[in-house]
Structure 1
Amino acid sequence: MRIKVQCPGYRDPLALGFRDQNELVIRRSQRRAQKRSGTRTTDSSLDSGGPMIPSPQGSPQYPAEELARGYLFCQYMAGGHMSYLVPLIQNPQSSAVNVALNAVGLAALSNIRMSPRMMLKARQEYTTALAQTNHALRDPVMSKRDDILAAVVLLGMFEAMACTDDSFIDRWMKHMEGAARLIEFRGPEQLSRREGLDLFTQLRAQISTSTLYRETYSSIALTELTKTAKQHRNNNDHILDDLGLIVIRLGNFCAALKDGTITDPHEIIRSALTLDAGLTVLFLDVPGPWNYKTVKVPIHDGELITRLVWGESHHVYHSIVASSMWNNYRSARILIHELILDTVKALDSTASDETSSQQRRNLAEQSRRVARQLVEDICASVPFHLGAGVQDEDALAGPEERAPSSGHGSLLSADRNHLDMTGAGGLTLVWPLLIAANSGLASHDLRKWITGCFDKIGHSMGINQALAMAQLLRKGMHMRAWLTPGFGSGNSV
């Protein structure tokens, strides 16, 4: 009552399994012994492959699948990002989604615990889920069920957890193609259910990202579904669909540039500025639950107290869903201003009029300034996504609600309200961070910092996709190079 936080009740015994430090201590001790003796030993408790996972002394042991499901619940469902899974996995008929859930959780824990045998079990579950999902997709009735679409989402998550090389981009693109066809087949009826609407919203953002970078047109059906989705939301949430419609227009604009439908440089700049103005106006007055606060990082002896923040401030949001929405908005605007900069550069190489040249230079400088700020803002969202919060409990309150304070909130290593959201935070952060790193406006130091963020996401959250992205950045590769024909290969649902 004192801190105005709702009591969650007694702790689930499963949660105790994630605070077991015995294995970590044993592993460190073994490593020190190996260094002294020059021999290598194996932690059998991690790679036994048995059905039971050690728990703290005096606590019961749990099957690996149960711990995997508990991990996903704490890291992805409890924070609201994928809460639509909760009723779906409780349905006894939802076999595919339950097996897919096991596969994702086991894969994440395998990466965190460095257990190859647990990954083998995860791949077995993945194979079973894949077969069940493909069977359901061939049935015109079953393929419209929410649990089958949720299984498709989880199979895509498994690829993010288990990927081992840079071909993940190609596989992800193909996965999004299949997901797009599926939500179109499901039709507007899916939007009348909470679970169906949430699934559609999450997939639409990913599909739009995919079409943007493949520079392909979105279907008319996706636009119509987005308009219908808006009718099923309350007024505060309309911004999700308004943003979705503008991003779809941006994707179609990029496709028109690629196929030569639009070639005139002046028309390109006008259209880009129109799209950017639409996004800017849309986010001028964001409803309260979707907004965020900027928090200054305290400085001690002339140094920032943490390296988790790039710059001197970071953002605090109401939810991962809100921060993801903002980063989708920033990513779209970064792409728009990159288009403007490329077009102005091409014009400068051919035009000779000095007055027009000065105007173009002014426009280019403005675009660079806006894009740099957008990159900084994506980076400012990182601490929230990775589980850091502010000590000041009034950080998100409006001016009229905030208690008087003489100082700034300080970063905590793990905010009590956001700790359980770090897995979802890491998964939703990787693509915006990749866009920021490859914007052409990120310095060498910033790219290095982002690479470190990818490493943290990969190692601490079990998301191997982040490690693959970090490796590509270390190689100095830029995103456009990854989308060339033949870069990657793979299959998906």
Structure 2
Amino acid sequence: MLVAAKGERFCDQKRPGCSQCARKRALCPGYRDMSSQIFRDLTQVTVRKYHAKRSQSAIASSSQNKSPKLVKAKPSLSLENVALNFFIRVYAPSSPSAWLTYLESVLSCTDANSQLSLSAVLAPAIAIFSHEQKRPSLMYIARRYYLTAIADTGLRLTSIQHAVRDSTLMSINLLTLFEARAFQGRSPPTDWTTHIEGAVELIRLRGNDQFKSVLGQALFLDTVNNIRTSCAQRRIALPAPIQDLLQTLLQKDSPPLSYGILEIGVGNVVDNIIGLVAGMQTGAVYCNDYKAVILEGLRLDSQVSELSRQLWSIQSYRVLPTDASGAWRWSGLAHDYDNPQSARLWNLLRMLRLYLNKWICRAYKKAVFEQQQQQKEEKLLEMGQEFQHIPETAASNTVLMAEYILSSVPYFCSLILSLEASSSSALSSTVRWLIWPLSVVAVSPLSPVSMQIHARDCLRKLGEEMGSAQAVEIANMLDNSETLEDWYASHPRMIVDQKAWF
């Protein structure tokens, strides 16, 4: 029981106020927020230790002198405690960013030069907790922490000694996460991209020394995935220094962390696909060289097919009996997977093949049109008869991949329903894992119209029955014949979730 007011009165838990206080004509202090009890553990101690140990170093003093208008945000300890606990105990373990599991130990570091900015942690922690609790007013506090973290991190970047530390790269990745969560609107995510560009320079400065620790490797791999998604978004190739560092890490005697041969292969193919897309832009290496696009596309499609065969030997899925009455099913088809990670990886490979076959077929058609315009009589593209079957082969591959993606929908929807009673962050992330593959099928020019319609219907149902505003937005854009490429380019939250695919 809770004490209702001073004295021996006890709260009888009646709403809206306890009768004990009412009879005494005393002001009832109300009821404690019991949800805070869920997250009560050692994190509050961690926060207090951090504040106690934080020295008045030159960096901190300089931060105050150079940024007099920035006021240190100090919300109640209860909000800090709950948001930080949720971030560390609930969000981090399910995040694709493996280094987040080291967050608490880094926060308790006693070395002043290696300490992580608490503001950089609290900014995304409160932003994510705001979304979890559906309390947008908390974003004001999160933004104040974000501004303080920007100042702290900027000062660390002025010194190479501090810039190359793990804590500095962690701060930048946390600021990137905040931008992804806080971003609103349809304009390009400029601040998010700025943090990514800063991370590129930072891991270049860190060099091979960052691979000496498990945390350093985890930070590097997560940052590379951020860079990959940003490059894909902007249709530019992965920076050469990043490619060199990645190859250095992957050429070690054993794969880093839990990275396996399959993950390495997927990463390499994704990098090559990003390079292909960048090369097709105006003035780039593949611009108007349709034969080169076809050959490179076919080579990459063959690599993805081989990765699928490898994945089948490791994590095969089950084809369930056809049931036309089953919810969410396309033509009664459904797959069952061992775990969500396996299902996501399968759909990633399928989406890659959808993209590749679209570009292969598009390049073929442009080559044919160009040849007709020039009224040439020699053999088509001078590549042999087998290339004349490209449209049929690309269409066949597309139908098969689209069918497999649609067959994964019942599994994901069952998973989503099982998560309704748990964290809304986990729920919304899982919904977004399904939104991307469905949207790819919905806009695939080689997919049958019936498949496109089913994908759109699933998107709308995700919005109407499972509360996904993004699914509704995409469905509406498709109905209005708007392109999705700019939508994805302006939604970094989707991009953050896409890291889990790589």
TM-score range, shorter chain: 0.5 to 0.7
Confirm or deny that 1:249 pairs with 2:272: yes
When residues 187 and 450 of structure 1 are mapped into structure 2, their CA distance, relative to the original with a 3 A threshold, is farther
**CA distance in 2 between partners of 1:333 and 1:283 (Å):** 10
Residues 53, 64 of structure 1: 8 Å contact kept: no
Q: Give the Cα–Cα distance (whole angstroms) in 2 for the partners of residues 97 and 467 of structure 1.
A: 37
Q: CA deviation at 1:162?
A: 1.9
Structure-2 separation of matches of 1:95 and 1:475 = 50
Is 1:70 aligned to residue 95 of structure 2?
Answer: no
Return the match for 1:194 from 210, 214, 218: 214
1:206 corresponds to: 226
For residues 433 and 468 of structure 1, the distance between their equivalents in structure 2, rounded to whole angstroms, comes to: 13
Find out whether 1:316 has 2:337 as its counterpart. Answer: yes
3-state SS in 2 of match to 1:286: helix
Question: Which letter maps to 1:269?
Answer: I
- Which one of 121, 125, 129 corresponds to residue 101 of structure 1? 121
Relative distance call for 1:477 and 1:165 in structure 2 (3 A) is same
Q: Residues 294 and 314 of structure 1 are in contact (CA less than 8 Å); yes or no, is this contact kept in structure 2?
A: yes
Residue 233, structure 1, aligned to residue 277, structure 2: no
Counterpart of 1:477?
Answer: 482
CA pair 246-60 structure 1, distance change in 2 beyond 3 A: closer
- Asked whether the equivalents of residues 156 and 168 of structure 2 are also in contact (C-alpha less than 8 Å), the reply is yes
Letter in 1 for 2:84: R
Equivalent position of 2:99 in the other structure: 84
**Structure 1 segment 32-431 matched on structure 2, within 5 A:** 54-55=33-34, 63-79=78-94, 81-91=96-106, 92-93=108-109, 96=116, 98-167=118-187, 169-230=189-250, 231=252, 232-233=254-255, 237-258=260-281, 259-262=283-286, 263-286=288-311, 291-294=315-318, 296=320, 299=323, 303-304=325-326, 306-307=327-328, 312-318=333-339, 320=341, 322-351=342-371, 362-378=389-405, 388=415, 413-414=418-419, 422=427, 425=430
Q: Contact 1:313 / 1:380 at 8 angstroms: preserved in 2?
A: yes
Shift of residue 478 of structure 1?
1.4
C-alpha distance in structure 1 between counterparts of 2:223 and 2:471, whole Å: 19
Match of 1:48 in 2: none
| Partner-residue secondary structure (3-state), 1:90 | helix
Structure 1 residue 175 displacement after superposition:
3.7
What's 1:29 paired with?
none
Q: Which has the higher contact order (CA 8 A, sep 6+)?
A: 1
Identity between Structure 1 and Structure 2 (%): 22
**1:478 is paired with a residue of what secondary structure?**
coil
Deviation at 1:115, TM superposition (A): 2.0
In 1: Cα distance, 2:268 partner to 2:163 partner = 26
Cα displacement (A) at 1:254 = 2.3
Q: CA deviation at 1:340?
A: 0.7
State the distance in 2 between where 1:242 and 1:266 align. 25
Shift of 1:273: 0.5
Is the Cα–Cα contact under 8 Å of residues 79 and 421 in structure 1 kept in the other structure? yes
Amino acid in the other structure paired with 2:85: G
Q: Which amino acid is 1:291 matched to? A: Q
For 1:257 and 1:191, locate their aligned partners in 2 and report how far apart those are by CA, in whole Å: 34
- Per-residue displacement from partner, 1:433-481 (whole Å, max 9, x unpaired)? 5545444446144134235547888x67xxx877876665565421445
Contact 1:96 1:132 in 2 (8 A): no
Q: Deviations over 1:240-279 (max 9, x none)?
A: 2222222222222222221242333222211110121122
Q: Tell me, yes or no, if the aligned pair for 1:166 and 1:468 is still in contact at 8 Å.
A: no
Displacement after TM superposition at 1:343 (Å): 1.0
| 3-state SS of paired residue (2:318) | strand
Secondary structure, counterpart of 2:184 in structure 1 = coil
Once the two structures are TM-superposed, the CA of residue 342 in structure 1 deviates from its matched residue by 1.1
Distance 1:455 1:202, change over 3 A: farther
Distance 1:121 1:246, change over 3 A: same
1:73 CA drift (Å) = 3.4
Task: Tell me how far 1:237 sits from its aligned partner.
Answer: 0.6
Structure 2 unaligned spans of 5+: 1-12, 17-30, 41-76, 493-502
User: SS of 2:317's equivalent?
Assistant: strand
Quick one: structure 1 residues 56 and 163, their matched pair in 2 at CA, closer, same or farther if it must change by over 3 Å?
closer
Correspondence 1:449 to 2:470: no
Residue 477 of structure 1 aligns to a residue whose secondary structure is coil
SS in 1 for 2:310: coil
Helix, strand or coil: the match of 1:78?
helix
Greater shift, 237-246 or 355-364, is seen at 355-364
Q: Distance in 1 between matches of 2:134 and 2:473?
A: 16
Per-residue deviation, 1:373 = 3.6
Per-residue displacement from partner, 1:22-61 (whole Å, max 9, x unpaired)?
9xx99xxxxxxxxxxxxxxxxxxxxxxxxx9821599898
What's the secondary structure of 1:446's corresponding residue? Answer: helix
C-alpha distance in 2, partners of 1:159/1:310?
Answer: 40
Number of equivalences: 409
The change in CA–CA distance for 1:467 and 1:425 in structure 2 (over 3 A counts) is same
Q: CA separation of 1:253/1:58 partners in 2, compared to 1, >3 Å: closer, same or farther?
A: closer
Indicate the structure (1 or 2) with the bigger Cα radius of gyration: 2
d(CA) in 2 for partners of 1:480, 1:376: 22
* AA at the equivalent of 1:68: A
CA distance in 1, matches of 2:84, 2:319: 34
| Native 8 Å contact 1:452 1:470 kept in 2 | no
Matched residue SS, 1:166:
coil
Does the CA contact (< 8 Å) of 1:226 and 1:244 recur in 2? no
Structure number with the higher helix fraction is 2
